[in-house]
Amino acid sequence: MLQKQGKHWDAVSIPNVTVADLKPETFDFFRKRGVKSKRLDEDLLTDTNEALLNNLKLSDNGYLKRAALLLFHPDPEKYVSGAYIKIGFFRTDSDLLFQDEIHGNLFEQVEKQWICFSQSTLKQ
């Protein structure tokens, strides 16, 4: 149905969520990483979070898109079930040495995944 409307799953608008519900620290993290990697101009450091979301096309007619929640909400699982990573480290195809679940927004999940992976390789 979404395809017929020309939309993708992550572009669906989510009602009753505002920019104030998103995690400010994640916006700061995004800006610093974006400037460091030279994918964002330094002048974007002073833009409001709302302006940043508009520039990234993560809002539509005053509503945040699902992608904005996955990226910046402190608890995206509240709106998208299964929005977490389940990670396992196997010695062989059947010998599970370590497993964990990583929750949070996508930026936090990526950072936590590296920490989790580093710890699991140290346990070998």
One digit per residue, the tens of pLDDT, for the chain of length 124 reads 656 666 777 888 899 999 999 999 999 999 999 999 988 888 878 899 999 999 999 999 899 999 999 999 999 999 998 999 888 888 888 888 878 888 999 889 988 876 666 665 555 5
**What crossing angle do the helices spanning 24-36 and 106-122 adopt, rounded to 10°?**
70
What is the model's pLDDT at position 112? 81
What is the model's pLDDT at position 116? 66
- Collapsing DSSP to helix, strand or coil, 106 comes out as helix
Please state the φ and ψ torsions of residue 105, each to the nearest 5 degrees.
Answer: -75, 170
